[in-house]
Structures are given as structure tokens and as C-alpha cells.
């Protein structure tokens, strides 16, 4: 039985009506997963925007250029007129601030959930 579960041809029903039902269920599952994935992406983008808004504008600029847009430290240094070490330090501190803000947000959410139970 275990070997049959691993082989997909045994999982697909042989009769036409069962096959149609099986295909419909599979399509619904895929649609549900896509919808859930899109919701998670929207939620993640919303959280990301909220956290990024808390950063200093210069820190936000450095993170966007390096992490989102893929520019190198040297390129960001040339664009901003700052030294490479300043760009690196700003990126490091901004990431650290984001991690701390995320931890606070998660702890706050856990406390709220704990209070509702």
C-alpha cells in the first residue's frame, strides 16, 4: 500500500466520473493554495511597509537600494555620496532595527492572542 501511495498512477481514479471529481478537487486545492499564498504575500508586504516606515529615511533608502533593488555597496556609495563604510554601517543598523521591531511586533501579537483566549 505504501508503494502504491508513492506512485501517482495509483492515486488517480480510473473511472471517468471519479476522475472528473478528482480533477475538480485538485483544481480547487490549487486555487485555494494560490489565494492563501497571495494573502500571505499581501500581509507580508503590509508588515514590511509598516516596519520600513519606522526607519530613518536614510536607513530606508540604503535598505531599499541594496536589498530590494540589488545595488552593491559601492554603487549606493556613489549614488548617495557617502563612503562605503557609512553605507555598510547604515545597512547593518537598519537591519538590526528591523529585526528588533519585528520581534516587538510578534511579541505584541502573541500577547494579544494570549489575552483573547
Task: Tell me the CATH number of domain 57-117, given options 1.10.40.50, 3.30.465.10, 1.10.10.10, 3.30.750.24.
Answer: 1.10.10.10
Report if pTM > 0.95: no
Measure the CA–CA gap between 69 and 17, rounded to whole angstroms. 50
Measured between alpha carbons, how far is 54 from 104 in angstroms, rounded to an integer?
Answer: 13
Which pLDDT does position 15 carry in this prediction?
A: 62
Are the C-beta atoms of 3 and 9 separated by less than 8 Å?
no
Residue 9 pLDDT grade (very low, low, confident, very high; cuts 50, 70, 90): low
Q: pLDDT, tens digit, for every residue of 58-116?
A: 999 999 999 999 999 999 999 999 999 999 999 999 999 999 999 998 898 888 888 66
pLDDT of residue 99: 92
Amino acid at each position: 500500500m505504501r508503494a502504491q501511495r508513492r506512485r501517482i498512477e495509483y492515486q488517480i481514479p480510473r473511472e471517468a466520473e471519479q476522475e472528473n471529481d478528482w480533477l475538480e478537487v485538485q483544481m480547487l486545492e490549487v486555487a485555494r493554495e494560490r489565494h492563501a499564498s497571495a494573502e500571505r504575500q499581501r500581509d507580508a508586504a503590509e508588515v514590511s511597509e509598516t516596519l520600513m516606515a519606522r526607519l530613518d529615511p536614510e536607513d530606508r533608502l540604503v535598505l531599499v537600494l541594496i536589498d530590494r533593488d540589488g545595488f552593491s555597496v559601492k554603487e549606493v556609495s556613489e549614488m548617495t555620496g557617502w563612503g562605503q563604510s557609512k553605507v555598510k554601517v547604515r545597512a547593518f543598523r537598519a537591519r538590526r532595527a528591523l529585526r528588533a521591531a519585528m520581534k516587538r511586533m510578534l511579541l505584541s501579537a502573541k500577547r494579544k492572542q494570549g489575552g483573547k483566549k
